[in-house]
Amino acid sequence: MKILIVEDQTEIRDTLRDMLEINGHDVIAAEDGVERLKMAAQQPEFIFCDVEMPNLDGYGMLAEIKKMSGVCDVPFIFLTARAERSALREGMASGADDYITKPFSEADLVKGSPRAPTGSAACATGSTNWPASSAGNQRPMVS
Amino acid sequence: MAARDSSRPCLLLVDDTPANIQVLVGLLQADYDLKVATRGAQALKICEQTPHLDLILLDVMMPEMDGYEVCRQLRAAEATRSIPIIFLTAKSEIDDVVHGFDLGASDYVAKPFRPPELLARVRTHLLLRAQQREIAEKNTELKEILQIVSHDVANHFSVVSMSLDLLQGNPSFPFERLRPRMAAAARNGVALTTLVRDLRRAEEKGLLLQPVALAAALDEALLLAESRLREKEVTVRQQVADLRVVAESVALTNSVFGNILSNAIKFSHRGATIDLSAQPENGWACVRLRDHGIGMPPAVLDKLFDVTKSHSRKGTAGESGTGFGMPVMRKFVTLFGGTVEVATREQATHPEDHGTEFTIRLNLVS
């Protein structure tokens, strides 16, 4: 599965990339503004996006994605170090499919999260699939 | 909080008897900015239009809307909830004092009042109000800092915990790939705790200011930065006069010079030169550190010293930071009685001559 990672902290971005690549995924990564929207145009099938970033933050990124044809219905998962409920609610209300709180494990990333709801808000086309290991079976999202 | 035209506290006097208002004005106008109202509704309107009102002297017995009702309405509105209200109460109403307190009044003065007593109560409640504001502001700032710090610490720990998880699940994964990231996370985590500790130390005012040899402090800061300078092949061109300044030596070396030096190295290109000078200038010791790096965009410059908004930017070699360095640096310079100026030109807009210059002025020891 082609996965886009948007994360401004190099160390997290690289480790996340390793985790996903070792599970057989094709990863494209972006750290900033223009770059990430350009990456989004490469038709990823799944997006992991940090919330707190300079310039365009995660909510801004999500709003842009929702306007782009081809990727507006791609599963969009926030990565956040803010465990505050209000912050998470804000993320979900803006149309994200789920959030993962940092730090996360390989299992969190590739096997889905029990907290995940189904579908995406804005232009949902169906249930969201987590990027399970390409060798394994894909698991539909259920809350 | 909005800036005020005047540093004098602003009081609202409410009494339906003009003669009483005149007495109050005569008593208070030397020290305070005054607004007056002779009706309850008028008082509420003034409160609505005066966001920085500091205290209200409120008559109880008034036609149409009495003082109790004015008080009740002011306490019900978010914007006016915390303005101190002192009731002016005729002797016959003394029994109603408790009623006034129940409605949220801060105090009362019996009419006819004794001027020194009235003035003293006004002063007391203004002082309490100022202290409350100060505590609330401090509390907000601390909450914001706590949020930033826990966010950043969680990020650094994430790198370590993710790396361990990766190794656990994939024992053949090359550890050498992960080691530099884990090292960077650990370094930044430690740097963050150091800066937060520095910040606290600065705020606790326990700083012992004494004469410090400027050249020695700069030398030590350069020594501490040596490995980073070497790694990035950055050369420092120095012209440092032998001056003595008012500072605290550890904070000057680490929190001030260490931070601006780190910044200059971080945003310099490989093989670049940094210019460092220290000269006496108009009675100050003037330290200038100029890099020829990428410079700062206006949005970054605006937030550079705000501890609640400052955000770490990647260096030219992908170096990460804490986002706390510059706010801490300026805090210490201010505590030393000095000033900081920044001039910057972005490489993107000034390809010929770009970079950032910090000018730090410190008190000279005569």
Per-residue confidence at B278, pLDDT binned at 50, 70, 90? Answer: very high
Residue of B144, B149, B162 to mutate when probing chain A, most A C-beta within 10 A: B162
> Among A41-45, A54-58, B308-312, B340-344, where is mean pLDDT lowest?
B308-312
Element (H, E) at B224: helix B214-224
Residue with tokens 């220290």: B278
Which of B148, B159, B161 best tests the A interface by mutation, with the highest count of A CBs <10 A? B159
Give the per-residue pLDDT at A128.
54
List pLDDT tens digits, range B184-229: 888 888 878 887 887 787 777 667 889 999 999 999 999 888 888 9
Query: For residue A8, which residues of chain B lie inside 8 Å, CB to CB?
Result: 314
Task: Give the tokens for residue A96.
Answer: 């994200």
Contact at CB, B158 and A54, closer than 8 angstroms: no
Instruction: Find the helix packing angle between A10-22 and B115-169, rounded to 10°.
Output: 30
Q: ipTM of the predicted structure?
A: 0.71
% of chain B with per-residue pLDDT over 90? 54
A42-A46-A52-A58 Cα dihedral, nearest 10 degrees: 70
Q: Do A104 and B158 make contact, defined as CB atoms within 8 angstroms?
A: yes
Weakest mean pLDDT among B28-42, B62-76, B86-100, B168-182:
B86-100
| Minimal C-alpha gap between A24 and chain B (Å) | 13
Question: Is the pLDDT higher at A122 or at B171?
Answer: B171
Give the minimum alpha-carbon distance from A103 to chain B in angstroms, rounded to a whole number: 4
Instruction: Give the burial class of A122: count Cβ atoms within 10 A of its Cβ; 0-12 exposed, 13-18 middle, 19 or more buried.
Output: middle
d(CA B235, CA A132): 50
Label residue B227 exposed, middle or buried (CB < 10 Å: 0-12, 13-18, 19+): exposed
Convert the pLDDT of each residue in B30-62 to its tens digit: 999 999 999 999 999 999 999 889 999 999 989
Mean pLDDT of B248-263: 89
The Cα B299–Cα B201 span in angstroms is 29
> How many Å from the N-terminal Cα to the C-terminal Cα in chain B?
39
Task: Choose the weakest-confidence range: A131-140, B278-287, B310-319.
Answer: A131-140
Q: Do A81 and B154 touch (CB under 8 A)?
A: yes
Residues 6+ apart with CB under 8 A from A126: A119
Name the 3-class secondary structure at A117: coil
- The C-alpha angle B339, B341, B347, rounded to 5 degrees, equals 160
- Considering only CB atoms, B170 lies closest to which of A22, A52, A83, namely A22
Given a contact cutoff of 8 angstroms between Cβ atoms, the answer to whether B266 and B232 are in contact is no
- The phi, psi pair for B246, rounded to 5°, reads -85, 120
What CA–CA distance (Å, rounded) separates B37 from B119? 19
Which alpha helices (H) appear in A8-139, and where do they start and end? 10-22, 33-40, 58-67, 85-93, 106-110
Cα B255 to Cα A102, A108, B244, B335, distances in angstroms? 30, 39, 18, 12
Q: Which residues pair with B85 in a beta bridge?
A: B56
**pLDDT of chain A along its 143 residues, tens only?**
889 988 888 888 899 999 999 888 999 888 765 676 777 778 888 889 888 776 677 888 888 888 887 788 888 888 887 656 666 777 778 788 888 888 788 777 766 543 333 333 344 344 455 666 554 433 333 33
**A50-54, B78-82, B335-339, range with the lowest pLDDT:** A50-54
* Dihedral angle sign, alpha carbons of residues A8, A9, A14, A17: negative
Instruction: Judge contact between A82 and A90, C-beta under 8 A.
Output: no
What does the pLDDT read at residue A109?
Answer: 77
- CA–CA distance, B68 with B87 (Å, rounded to integer): 9
| Residue B1 reports pLDDT greater than 80 | no
Distance CA B351, CA B146 (A): 39
- Secondary structure percentages of chain B, helix, strand, coil, to 5: 50, 20, 30
Q: With contacts defined as CB-CB under 8 Å, which chain B residues touch A10?
A: 181, 184, 314, 318, 320
pLDDT band at B123 (very low <50, low <70, confident <90, very high): very high
Q: How many CB atoms lie within 10 A of CB B125?
A: 19
Residue B237's SS3 state is strand
DSSP assignments along B275-298, one per residue: EEEEEEETTEEEEEEEE-S----H
Give this prediction's pTM.
0.64
Cβ-based contacts of A102 with chain B (< 8 Å): 154-155, 158
Q: Which residues of A touch B160 (CB under 8 A)?
A: 103
Asked whether the beta carbons of residue B184 and residue A105 sit closer than 8 angstroms, the reply is: no
* Residue among B91, B71, B92 at smallest CA distance from B82: B71
Percent helix / strand / coil, chain A, rounded to 5: 30, 20, 50
* CA–CA dist B184, A15 (Å, integer): 13
Indicate whether B300 pLDDT > 70.
Answer: yes
Which residues of chain A are within 8 Å of residue B166 when distances are taken between CB atoms? Answer: 15, 18-19, 22, 106
Amino acid (1-letter code) at residue A94: S
